[in-house]
């Protein structure tokens, strides 16, 4: 005679059943097929640039970034990996380089380099990994004061800035494609067409484009042939293969670029249809997963 536990009997009587394991994330290809992590790594290691589009407060995304960096280190030859980061602006690059070289202590770096508030939990582990393995670290973002003045006054506000300031940005003047999906979405958020919306949406899109272009410019300029740059950025900067990717096509059209996007869903079994082709690989994280802030 077969016996069942009281707990099992309760579940049967209540009509409740479990549905298998509880993965922390699921990985999908651009087309929505389940993807294998090792397969993804074999594609990433062949790329010149990997844009890891994160949600800045997603603990699982930050853990996965660290795993991808560790595995690229194993798969690449010494000297063939570079770490790029939206989180540091171009004017603090000398400090970033000193930290990577081990000539600037943590306390001084954190005091002077304007790290993000979640630096200690979310980015410092990657920085330490890079420093311990002699991986160059590149801050790629436009300094905030320039993005702010563009958002207020448009790109024309940069026309007469000195050469020392221009060196911190993408080549000027900047050509903005307002038809890129990300920029069109931004225009919709502000209630109208980006080109016809006067100062508001158009200026904000131009500020976003300045960041995208500056990151693309320094990604392209900071890697050597044979190197893979693993670049961390908010997913909006690389989703739908626009933003940074669009400017990389302008600056270096032959670069092999792979994108990753982290998204949240209530269920992890299938990729929501509207997320198809958002990136080459889509990391789906449970909607109730932990956040770092």
281-286 and 26-29: which strand pairing? antiparallel
Sign of CA dihedral 186, 251, 88, 84: positive
Q: Is the pLDDT of residue 232 over 60?
A: yes
In DSSP terms, 26 is beta-bridged to 284
What element of type H or E holds 176?
Answer: none
Q: H or E element: which one contains 87?
A: strand 81-89
Is the model's pLDDT at 38 over the cut of 70? yes
Report the chain's C-alpha Rg in angstroms.
Answer: 21
* Most trustworthy range by pLDDT among 3-17, 154-168, 187-201: 154-168
What are the pLDDT digits (tens) for 66-92? Answer: 999 999 999 999 999 999 999 999 999
| Whether pLDDT at 49 is above 50 | yes
pLDDT of 24 over the 50 cut: yes
SS3 content of the chain, % helix, strand, coil (to 5): 45, 15, 40
CA angle 21, 23, 27 (to 5 degrees): 130
Could you report the per-residue pLDDT of 192-229, keeping only the tens digit for each? 654 544 456 999 999 999 999 999 999 999 999 999 99
pTM of the model: 0.91
């Amino acid at each position: 005679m077969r016996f069942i536990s009281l707990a099992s009997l309760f579940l049967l009587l209540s009509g409740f059943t479990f549905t298998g394991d509880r993965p922390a994330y699921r990985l999908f290809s651009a087309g929505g097929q389940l993807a294998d992590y090792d397969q993804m790594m074999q594609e990433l290691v062949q790329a010149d640039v990997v844009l890891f589009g994160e949600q800045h407060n997603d603990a699982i995304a930050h853990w996965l970034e660290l795993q991808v960096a560790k595995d690229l280190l194993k798969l690449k030859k010494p000297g063939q990996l570079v770490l790029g980061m939206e989180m540091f602006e171009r004017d603090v690059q000398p400090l970033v380089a000193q930290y990577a070289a081990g000539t600037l202590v943590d306390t001084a770096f954190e005091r002077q380099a304007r790290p993000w508030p979640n630096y200690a939990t979310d980015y410092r582990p990657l920085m330490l990994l890079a420093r311990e393995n002699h991986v160059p670290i590149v801050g790629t973002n436009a300094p905030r004061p320039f993005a702010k003045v563009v958002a207020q006054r448009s790109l024309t506000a940069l026309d007469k800035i000195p050469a020392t300031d221009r060196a911190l940005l993408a080549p000027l003047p900047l050509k903005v494609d307002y038809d890129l999906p990300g920029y069109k979405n931004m225009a919709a958020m502000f209630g109208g067409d980006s080109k016809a919306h006067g100062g508001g949406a158009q200026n904000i899109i131009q500020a976003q484009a300045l960041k995208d272009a500056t990151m693309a410019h320094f990604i392209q300029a900071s890697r050597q042939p044979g190197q893979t740059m693993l670049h961390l950025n908010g997913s909006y900067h690389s989703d739908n293969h626009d933003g940074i990717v669009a400017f990389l096509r302008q600056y270096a059209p032959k670069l092999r670029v792979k994108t990753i996007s982290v998204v949240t869903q209530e269920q992890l079994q299938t990729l929501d249809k509207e997320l198809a082709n958002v990136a080459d690989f889509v990391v789906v994280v449970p909607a109730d997963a932990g956040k770092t802030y």
